[in-house]
Amino acid sequence: MKHIVKILSLLAAISAFWIGLLQAAIIPRSHTWLLPIYFVVSLGCYGLLMVGVGLMQFPTCPQEAVLLQKDITEAKEFFKHKGVDVGSD
Amino acid sequence: MADEKENIGEKKYKYSIIIPTFNERLNIAIIVYLIFKHLRDVDFEIIVVDDGSPDGTQDIVKQLQQLYGEDRILLRARAKKLGLGTAYIHGLKYATGDFVVIMDADLSHHPKYLPSFIKKQLETNASIVTGTRYVKDGGVHGWNLMRKLTSRGANVLAQTLLWPGVSDLTGSFRLYKKCVLEDVISSCVSKGYVFQMEMIVRASRKGYQIEEVPITFVDRVFGTSKLGGSEIVEYLKGLVYLLLTT
């Protein structure tokens, strides 16, 4: 099944639930009408939260740059001895 | 070595490492050195797909061939810059390994992670092992706050829309079973980093088992290439395309 069909089915199920709520009037209708807006806003807030949290926890590796430089030097030395002209950066 | 093989009773696999290059005269030599350093007991070949680099990349590769052997380093060049996807397809034609590794030539992907890719695949029998920069033992160096923000935002958006099952969608340091790569690549049409996303999403939709290993990514290029508005638009277009067609 294509992914978009899955997403649309999910949206259709949520819409059916919402329409059901509207008709059954368990919650006052005025509230029910606003539910989709609450849903979209919460989704947006959740997304922003995930971006913020991810940004704070973004894994960095400054030591890797140092290690890489060491590897580059090691490789250049090796090639100098083998007579391969790698030139300069 | 022969004793080890008999004791473990394991089949010895061969790995083809495809590296597309364009003006990577110095980096390709260093990458080759590091691959040989970190894969000492592994049967592998390196396939360099160079797109007619004017800086003498191919000359260096030929010297490396003299040093390491033409059976270990294959130079399969093309006349001009023709794109990443077709570079992989081109390299695949000459690959004789059971597995294919794709990686970048600019040293952002460090060959020291190759053993962990191989180990993960052998442990899990995964069809694809992809490197992820966004987990605890992974990481990125060389990105400023803005770049990290766009990366994180792009990732959250892609996760929400596509449910891809991997944490790093745009990464291009991956190990594929050769038959899986052939299958997935034939159905991909995008370019650039959207191509990398399309590959992993299509593989996921086809039900291939995908495992991840942490990798570190040292970006020495970022300062020179800015992430502008047009890249963002292209990314969004790519997301919508993937949402609708996978």
Which residue bears the tokens 């606003």? A34
- Phi first, then psi, for residue B114 (nearest 5°) are -55, -45
% of chain B at pLDDT higher than 90: 68
- Note whether B141 contacts A: Cβ–Cβ < 8 A: yes
- Note whether B124 contacts A: Cβ–Cβ < 8 A: no
Q: Which residues of A touch B157 (CB under 8 A)?
A: 47
Burial of B150 (0-12, 13-18, 19+ CB in 10 A): middle
Q: Which residues of A touch B58 (CB under 8 A)?
A: none
Q: According to the model, what pLDDT value does residue B226 have?
A: 60
Inter-chain touch B149–A51, beta carbons under 8 Å = yes
For the cut 80, the answer to whether the pLDDT of residue B8 exceeds it is no
- Note whether B224 contacts A: Cβ–Cβ < 8 A: no
Which residue bears the tokens 């995908």? B210
Among A47, A61, A86, the residue with its CB nearest the CB of B139 is A61
Q: According to the model, what pLDDT value does residue A28 have?
A: 78
- Note whether B140 contacts A: Cβ–Cβ < 8 A: yes
For the cut 60, the answer to whether the pLDDT of residue B3 exceeds it is no
Q: What is the DSSP code string of A30-69?
A: HHHHHHHHHHHHHHHHHHHHHHHHHHHT--B-HHHHHHHH
Helix axes B25-38, B114-124, angle to 10 degrees: 50
Inter-chain touch A54–B156, beta carbons under 8 Å = yes
Which residue of chain A comes nearest to B138, CA vs CA?
A59
- Note whether B197 contacts A: Cβ–Cβ < 8 A: no
Outline where DSSP puts E strands in chain B.
Answer: 14-21, 43-50, 73-75, 99-102, 128-132, 139-141, 174-177, 210-214, 216-218
Q: Contact at 8 Å (CB) between B156 and A47?
A: yes
pLDDT digits (tens, 9 = 90+) for B164-181: 989 998 889 999 999 999
Q: Contact at 8 Å (CB) between B34 and B111?
A: yes
Q: According to the model, what pLDDT value does residue B10 have?
A: 55
Q: How many CB atoms lie within 10 A of CB B121?
A: 22
For the cut 70, the answer to whether the pLDDT of residue B227 exceeds it is no
Residues of chain A scoring pLDDT < 70: 1, 87-89
Q: Which residues of B touch A88 (CB under 8 A)?
A: 26
For the cut 50, the answer to whether the pLDDT of residue B6 exceeds it is no
Among A55, A58, A75, the residue with its CB nearest the CB of B30 is A75
When pLDDT is cut at 50, 70 and 90, the band that residue B118 belongs to is very high
- Phi first, then psi, for residue B174 (nearest 5°) are -140, 155
For the cut 60, the answer to whether the pLDDT of residue B9 exceeds it is no
For the cut 50, the answer to whether the pLDDT of residue B146 exceeds it is yes
Q: Contact at 8 Å (CB) between B178 and B99?
A: yes
Q: How many CB atoms lie within 10 A of CB B94?
A: 14
| First-to-last C-alpha distance (Å) of chain A | 50
Q: What is the mean pLDDT of residues B185-210?
A: 90
Q: Which residues of A touch B104 (CB under 8 A)?
A: none
Closest CA of chain A from B56, distance in Å: 10
Q: According to the model, what pLDDT value does residue B217 have?
A: 93
Q: What is the mean pLDDT of residues B182-201?
A: 89
Among A2, A68, A87, the residue with its CB nearest the CB of B218 is A68
Q: Residue A28 half-sphere exposure, CB side, CA atoms within 13 Å?
A: 2
Q: How far apart are CA A73 and CA B86, in angstroms?
A: 33
Which residue of chain A comes nearest to B134, CA vs CA?
A59
